Amino acid sequence: MNRGAYASFTRRQFLKRGALATGVMALPHLIPASALGRDGAVAPSERIVLGAIGVGGRGAYDLGWILTERDVQCVAVCDALKSRCDAAKRLVDDKQGTRDCATYGDLRELLAERADVDAVLIATGDRWHALASVLAMRAGKDVYCEKPACLTMAQGQLVVETARRYARVYQTGAQRLSEPNHVFAIELARSGRLGPIHTAYADIRWRDGLRHDWLPAEPEPPKDELDWDLWLGPCPWRPYNPGYVNGGGWYHFYDFATDVAMWGAHTVAQALAGLDLTGVTFIEFEYAGPDATMITRLSNGVKLVLFRVAGSVWEPCDYWHGACGERFDGPEGWAAAADGYSRTDVSSPQLLRESRKVLADYTARTRRPLNHMRDFFDCVRSRRLPVANAEVMQRSMNICLAADICEQLKRNLKFDLLKAEFAGDAAANRMRSRAMRAPYMG
C-alpha cells in the first residue's frame, strides 16, 4: 500500500474494520468442527494428504476404499482420460463434502506441483506402475501401487532401489496378504502347525496368451479428452484404437501386460509368505507346455506349483474353489484360501479351533491390521515396512516373470534369487528388461 492510500484511510474506516475483526474473533462456532478435530474427525494437521493417479476401474475401487479412512484427505486426482478424472473428482468431493479436489491429466504435473501431498495411490495400467512409483518416490511421496508392480525384473529392481534411496514407504496392492482367511492359511504354514511344508500352490489363472499384434488405427480423440502419447507411456508406440482404452482391452497385449504375473503377483506372494525362505538361493522352473501348470522347485527342496485353473476360475479344482488361491501341504495337514471363502479350508477341523488365537498372535507380533490399505497408512505414519513392501514385491514378481520367460523360451530354467539372474542362459537374461520409450524412461 502506498503513502497516499494511508492518507485516505480515515479513523471511521479504521474503527469499522476493527469492529469487523472483533466480530470474526467472537464467532468461533462458524469454524467447522471437522477443522478442529471434533466429533471424531481428524484435524487437518494430522491428516495424510493423498493424490490418486489412475482412477478408472481398480483405481476407482481403491479410491473409494481410501475415502473411508478418516485420517486421509484426497486433494488431487489424475488420469490421462478426462472423463475418469472428472468422475473421480465428483466421488472425492461428494465424500469429503468439498469442491476442492484438483484434477490433473499428467501425473508429472501433480508430482511437481503438489508439495502438500504425502502419499499417492497408483492404479494406472500396468505399463505405468513401476515408472509412476519411481517418479512419485523421487518427488518425496509414499506409494500404494496396484499389482503387478512392474513388467520386468529391471523395473522391479529400480522400484526397490528408489524406495531405499529416498526412504519411502511402498506397498503393492497384494491385498490378500492382509485378509483374515489368507493370513490364517499363511500363519498355519509359517508357524509349523502343518509340519514342514513340502509343497505350496499358487493360482496363476488360465489366460489365452498375450497378443503381439496391433489394433487398426482410428482417429485420436482431442488431446484434452485423452492424451494418447501419455496414456501409452513407456511402452512401444502404436496408433490409437479405443479397444486398448475401453474395458481394459490393453490387458491382452504383451506390450502392456504380463502373463503369469497378472495373477501370480497376488498368489505367489501369498505362497511365499507361508514358507521359510531362509537360505533359499535359487528356484528351478520346469517347462510343461503352453498354458500348463508349471512345477518349480526351491533350493531348500520345497515344491512351488504355479497352478493354472482350466475353465472358469470359480469352478472347483483339487486345491481350492474361487480365484487367487494358495495352498500349503505339510506332513500334519494342509490349508488353503481363495476369494469368496467364509473360512479357510483345512484338512482337519482341529486346525480351525485356534483360528482366533492365530490371527490375534499375528496382529500382536506384526502390529498390522487385517486391512491392507490401513496397513499402508499406518506405515506412512510410523515409517515401518508394510506387509507387501518393495522387497516382498520384487521377490514374488521375479518368480512370476521368470515363469513368463520360461514359457516364452519353452525350456527349463534355473533362476538365482539372490543375483536375480538365470544360470548360464544369456537369452533368458536379456529378457529381464524391456526397452522403455522416450521420454518415459525413468
Give the CATH number, domain containing residue 164.
3.40.50.720
The pLDDT assigned to 11 comes to 38
Q: How far apart are CA 90 and CA 84, in angstroms?
A: 10
CA dist list (Å): 414 to 100, 265, 297, 311, 422: 53, 20, 9, 30, 6
Q: Is residue 365 part of a domain?
A: yes
Determine what percent of the chain is predicted with pLDDT higher than 90. Answer: 80
Number of domains present in the structure of the chain: 3
Q: Give the DSSP H or E segment for 185.
A: helix 180-190
Burial zone of 288 (CB within 10 Å; 0-12 exposed, 13-18 middle, 19+ buried): middle
Q: Is residue 16 part of a domain?
A: yes
Q: How confident is the model at residue 208 (pLDDT cuts 50, 70, 90)?
A: low
Average pLDDT score over residue span 112-141: 98
Average pLDDT score over residue span 51-65: 97
Residue 66 has pLDDT above 50, yes or no: yes
272 and 411 part of one domain? yes
| Whether 400 contacts 261, CB under 8 Å | yes
132 and 180 part of one domain? no
Q: How confident is the model at residue 31 (pLDDT cuts 50, 70, 90)?
A: very low
| Whether 266 contacts 272, CB under 8 Å | no
122 and 43 part of one domain? yes
DSSP per position, 20-85: HHHHHHT-GGGS-GGGGT-TTPPPGGGSEEEEEE--STHHHHHHHHHTT-TTEEEEEEE-SBHHHH
26 and 42 part of one domain? no
DSSP reduced 3-state for 195: coil
Average pLDDT, the chain: 90
Residue 39 has pLDDT above 60, yes or no: no
Q: Which residues pair with 199 in a beta bridge?
A: 303, 329
141 and 196 part of one domain? no
189 and 308 part of one domain? yes
Q: How confident is the model at residue 6 (pLDDT cuts 50, 70, 90)?
A: very low
pLDDT digits (tens, 9 = 90+) for 241-264: 999 999 899 999 999 999 888 889
Range of the domain at 135: 34-175
More confident residue, 41 or 389: 389
The pLDDT assigned to 423 comes to 97
Domain final position from 175, 198, 219: 175
Average pLDDT score over residue span 98-116: 97
Burial zone of 302 (CB within 10 Å; 0-12 exposed, 13-18 middle, 19+ buried): buried
Average pLDDT score over residue span 358-381: 97
Determine what percent of the chain is predicted with pLDDT higher than 70. Answer: 88
The pLDDT assigned to 311 comes to 57
pLDDT digits (tens, 9 = 90+) for 196-207: 999 999 998 766
More confident residue, 367 or 209: 367
The pLDDT assigned to 322 comes to 83
E strand residue ranges, 274-342: 282-286, 294-298, 303-307, 326-330, 333-337
pLDDT digits (tens, 9 = 90+) for 308-363: 866 555 566 788 888 899 999 999 999 999 998 889 999 999 999 999 999 999 99
Q: Is residue 441 part of a domain?
A: no
Q: Is residue 21 part of a domain?
A: yes
140 and 66 part of one domain? yes
90 and 25 part of one domain? no
Q: Is residue 89 part of a domain?
A: yes
Q: Is residue 238 part of a domain?
A: no
81 and 23 part of one domain? no
295 and 366 part of one domain? yes
Q: Is residue 130 part of a domain?
A: yes
27 and 48 part of one domain? no
The pLDDT assigned to 437 comes to 96
Residue 106 has pLDDT above 90, yes or no: yes
Q: Give the DSSP H or E segment for 107.
A: helix 107-113
CATH code for the domain in which residue 349 is found? 3.30.360
186 and 148 part of one domain? no
Q: Which residues pair with 360 in a beta bridge?
A: none
More confident residue, 228 or 288: 228
**35-74 b/e (C-beta count within 10 Å ≥ 16 → b):** eeeeeebeeeeebbbbbbbbbbebbbebbeebbebeebbb
Q: Is residue 236 part of a domain?
A: no
| Whether 333 contacts 347, CB under 8 Å | yes
